[in-house]
Structure 1
């Protein structure tokens, strides 16, 4: 079993050019603001997107969908009654920082109308600002 390392909350504010260009699909969803997504939030968002994709494409599985986020941050927590000191605490979840311009998801084999319906649905569900790119 691999042991995950507890990281500190430092992350680079530099924008990586590779995260700003579509790599796999024709359409993408790009973030416009800084944010943080936990593992459970990302899994819920993936599940919502797949569910909506099935309804938009009339349950045909000819679409392609990529998630370009990786969990690169460990979140730790102590219990409330603990005193100061005594280390960092146990890992309770993983997260990733979202920077402006990062592409979060990519899609292929969808029409423009289908992707607009999907984007309008995701825009209401997500807590930060996003943009549809082609």
Structure 2
């Protein structure tokens, strides 16, 4: 007889895949640890990344894709509110990044500049990343 553990979600948790393939580009940035990514921080990161890539490659040579879709909402009550007053207002959208998930894909970046981009992204993100290619 198999004992099932009760969980709050109704989905059965099975083995998670620890790999993901590149869909668009020839170079990708993959997460090596899990963490949460907030939409406002992601927008700032994308703007800074586009400026960095424009300096490295020029205007039209490199292409960037990001397959991230934000699916969670974060709520917060004010500090002075008492318990039992509800959930609170939405202050951000977020996405939980799992280990092995591809965050950004590139094409047309020279090999000697690929590490510069990874170091730049590592400073901005709160979880570990590594470079993956075809």
TM range (shorter): 0.7 to 0.9
Which sits farther off after the overlay, 123-132 or 63-72?
A: 123-132
DSSP 3-state at the match of 1:20: coil
CA RMSD, aligned part only?
2.1
Runs of 4+ in 1 over 6 A off after TM superposition: none
Q: How many residues align?
A: 123
Q: Which residue of 2 aligns with 1:41?
A: 41
Gap regions ≥5 residues in structure 1: 1-9
Gap regions ≥5 residues in structure 2: 1-8
Listed as ranges, the matches of 1:55-70 within 5 Å are 55-57=55-57, 59-70=58-69
Query: What is the deviation of 1:112?
Result: 1.5
The CA deviation string for residues 77-129 of structure 1, in whole angstroms up to 9 with x for no partner, is 11111111122111111111010000000001222122222112222222211
Larger Rg: 2
Q: TM-score, normalised by structure 1?
A: 0.82
